[in-house]
Amino acid sequence: MRKLLVIDDNMEFKVYPFNTLNGYFSADIIAMHKGKWVFCKHKHRTTWEHPSGWIESGETPLEAAKRELFEETGSIKFDIEPLCDYYIDMELNGFHYKGNGQVYFATIYSFGEIPPYSEMGEIGFFDALPDNLTYPILKDYFSIAEKKLQEKQENQSFNK
């Protein structure tokens, strides 16, 4: 699964199998609700992004993923499972990211309100990846999430 995207000589993004790396700084979530992809819009941006955020001191990547999913979408009932790891060393939206992150896949069953302290102002539901993404590298995770979703659907059909 190791996929390398080199933007230029000084910037790179690699995707690895889940739990391959260590020292994670970020937890990212690719989420679905009723067959639609879930994205959020920051209060100060006009682009869509996947729920994600920094892993706080003493927190595991999974705990951070669950917290961020709630904080950025208001999700209150969901299943969440591993998807992949990544290494990033690049500038995105004026900030330089360097380090390892973990990505999770979530199926959301119900939502509450987005907390008032959230950076996100709204959530949206999409049949496909939106064109106006805050972080275009999401496309690498999205293809992995699509494969996982297809496998889940095939397993459900097989088990019926």
Could you give the number of structural domains in the chain?
1
68: DSSP letter: H
State the residue range of the domain holding 135.
3-158
Q: Residue 150 contacts by C-beta under 8 Å, 6 or more apart in sequence?
A: none
pLDDT tens digits along 39-54: 999 999 999 999 999 9
The amino acid at residue 31 is: A
pLDDT tens digits along 62-115: 999 999 999 999 999 999 999 999 999 988 777 788 999 999 999 999 999 999
CATH assignment of the domain containing 153: 3.90.79.10
- Across the range 1-12, mean pLDDT stands at 50
Quick one: which H or E segment has residue 98?
A: strand 95-111
Sign of CA dihedral 64, 65, 67, 73: positive
Alpha-carbon gap, residue 29 to 38, rounded angstroms: 10
Sign of CA dihedral 37, 112, 76, 62: positive
